[in-house]
Amino acid sequence: METVIQHLHTYFLFPFSIDKQAVYEDHEELWRRHSRWMDGMDEWLSIPPAGQDSGLAAALGTWQRSVYKDFDMGSPAYQDMVFFHPFVRRVFFDTGEITGNRPDHESLLRCYQIQAGQEQHLYFAAEDTKGRKARLEITDLRLYLFANGIGVLSVGVEAFGITASQALWINEEMRKVYPSSSRQIREGRVPSRMALELDTAGATRTLVEERYEKAGMVGFQPPLARTLRALLYFANYDRQEYEPVLDERMIVFTYAAVDPSSVPKEFISSEQYQVLLSRFLYVDRNGADYRYDENFVRSEMQRQIYNRWAHQGTYYGFTSYSNITCTLGAFDCDEHQLREGFLIHRMFTTRYYLMALVTLFYRATLLDFAERTALVSRRLFHDQEDNKISMENIRLASDLRAEFLHFSNYWFFDELANKDEENEHFLLMCREYRVHSMKREIEEEIDKLNDSLHNYFQFRNTEAVNRLAILSLFLGAGAVATGFFGMNFSGRFAGVFFEPDARYLPVHYGAIAFAALLALGTIFFGLYVVASNWSDYRDSLLPRWWLGRSARRPGSLKRGSWIE
């Protein structure tokens, strides 16, 4: 008898990066009305899509803001927030409407939802070339957008009473967002069809589907599935307004409760359970044994599996592409009564889900910083080859450093929660995502980039000071010469230079010509020095209001030049 999964609940998490500069350029009219990025977010998402991505929005509407409104003891907001530190609650919970949308109080993220109406059910369907298929109801559809341009799309699906083979196939296949090769489609390693379907009063309608009949790169970006593009309708993928930050797979955040009646009594301590855990952890298809070398898998699972509740059959596991909660059945957890809801599943959908979003946000942000640091460095390299660094690229480097400083000081925390178990989960997730090591590496890269610009400006300042020294030397010589003739010498000196007779007229006029040439030459030399090195003196000489008026947003770093 095959193992039965009593309850499968999976969130497919898709992190992406919005090119804010590209969006500013493409939606100039909209962003002209809003001085800040977050101020225009709601209006941007409320614009209904056109063309092939309009089916889902036409049937269910656009993304709607979803904030925490009630904070009494029995509310979801209270139960979600109470386990986190106060500073985390202020930063990672969207409570904008409660604080009156005041910019100094509102958190720098927005949460949105799309919900099916009454008597409507939204389904996520997939099938492959081997005839395997699944159709699961989407029970939770959320979108998180952060002020730094990072977004996380969350698609939650549920199934009950399915086999372990079906559950593993669902997690492995439905997480794919594009094929890495055409062979994957032929071999059934990627769905040949994915679709979002809507059931209304028993009638089924396909809102959007992807069959990968034609797929090609979009600039440097992969052919993202239309199912995802329809959900992210507000940004134009073909114009490179956003890009996925990971590979061809979404992050799998999954809960699997094994039906105790389908397994032997000693299943908790059996090798069979460990094999099943490994298949869920590494998002593999079902099998009788470990997918990889047994010693290798055991060694990896020792550091990737959290065993605090192993004696009850409950395991938590973390990799760079999966986050699993596996348990055996549903039962009373000490004083937590099952009739009030299964504690393990409730924790999965609340605090652990929120922690998974935070750590994924950290990873996506750091990967985005890594890309932008490389692109800024490339621009500066070309500038240095031309022996002139443009102000636009200097501003890009300065903005990059300021954004990283804001991320480190505002978003990033070593500790999120109040309790040991939550902190241990968070640290395990951060370790698998390499969050702390990536942060240190990028911090070093940005500091080195800043040091190189600092050295460059020191060199430029030294040159400017040297030019001023030479100019001062000429001005000083002119002042001495003209001052010499302006002294009240009398007698023979005055008779030669100031009140000459016919004999000394040539000397008199020669002295005037010399002093005039020296003074005019010094003035023209000073004008030449300032004009030929205007970029060194412009910001010091022009008024601030003029500089502010002439400044513009730097162009997009990521978008290809082929975009019209």
Predicted confidence pLDDT, tens digits, the chain (564 residues): 799 999 999 999 999 999 999 999 899 889 888 878 888 999 999 988 877 667 788 889 999 998 888 788 878 788 888 889 998 988 998 886 555 555 555 679 999 999 988 889 999 999 999 999 999 999 999 999 999 999 999 999 999 999 999 999 999 999 999 988 888 888 888 999 999 999 998 889 999 999 988 777 777 888 999 999 999 999 999 999 999 999 899 999 999 999 999 999 999 999 999 999 999 999 999 999 999 999 999 999 999 999 999 999 999 999 999 999 999 999 888 888 888 889 999 999 999 999 999 999 999 999 999 999 999 999 888 887 777 777 788 888 888 999 999 999 999 999 998 889 999 999 999 999 999 999 999 999 999 888 888 887 787 778 777 877 877 777 777 677 666 666 666 667 777 777 777 777 787 788 778 777 877 887 787 788 777 777 666 666 666 555 555 455 567 888 865 565
Please tell me the predicted confidence (pLDDT) of residue 205: 93
How far is 307 from 130, CA to CA, in rounded Å?
A: 37
- Amino acid letter, residue 353: Y
Angle (CA) 506-510-514 rounded to 5° is: 180
Q: Is the Cα dihedral 347, 350, 354, 357 positive or negative? A: positive
Please tell me the predicted confidence (pLDDT) of residue 561: 58
Q: Which two tokens stand for residue 454?
A: 């600092």
Strand, helix or coil at 183?
helix
Selection from 176, 304, 334, 339 nearest residue 252 by Cα: 176
What does the H/E/C string look like for 376-413?
HHHHHHHHHHCCCCCHHHHHHHHHHHHHHHHHHHHHCC
Residue length of the chain: 564
How far is 175 from 169, CA to CA, in rounded Å?
A: 10
How far is 253 from 351, CA to CA, in rounded Å?
A: 13
Please tell me the predicted confidence (pLDDT) of residue 434: 95
The residue with tokens 């003739």 is 485
b (16+ CB within 10 A) / e for 431-451: bbbebeebbeebbebbeebee
How far is 493 from 489, CA to CA, in rounded Å?
A: 6
Selection from 205, 204, 250 nearest residue 225 by Cα: 250
Instruction: With beta carbons less than 8 A apart as the criterion, state whether 129 and 183 touch.
Output: no
Please tell me the predicted confidence (pLDDT) of residue 464: 75
Instruction: With beta carbons less than 8 A apart as the criterion, state whether 196 and 537 touch.
Output: no
Please tell me the predicted confidence (pLDDT) of residue 290: 94
How far is 252 from 280, CA to CA, in rounded Å?
A: 10
Instruction: List Cβ neighbours of 209 (8 Å cut-off, separation of 6 or more).
Output: 193, 194, 195, 196, 226, 227
Instruction: With beta carbons less than 8 A apart as the criterion, state whether 10 and 252 touch.
Output: yes
Please tell me the predicted confidence (pLDDT) of residue 334: 81
- Backbone conformation region of residue 376, classed left if phi is above 0, alpha if psi is from -120 to 50, else beta: alpha
Please tell me the predicted confidence (pLDDT) of residue 465: 78
Please tell me the predicted confidence (pLDDT) of residue 526: 78
The residue with tokens 């549903």 is 330
Please tell me the predicted confidence (pLDDT) of residue 275: 96
Instruction: With beta carbons less than 8 A apart as the criterion, state whether 416 and 422 touch.
Output: yes
Selection from 322, 298, 327 nearest residue 310 by Cα: 327
Element (H, E) at 370: helix 351-385
Q: Is the Cα dihedral 73, 77, 82, 83 positive or negative? A: positive
How far is 97 from 65, CA to CA, in rounded Å?
A: 10
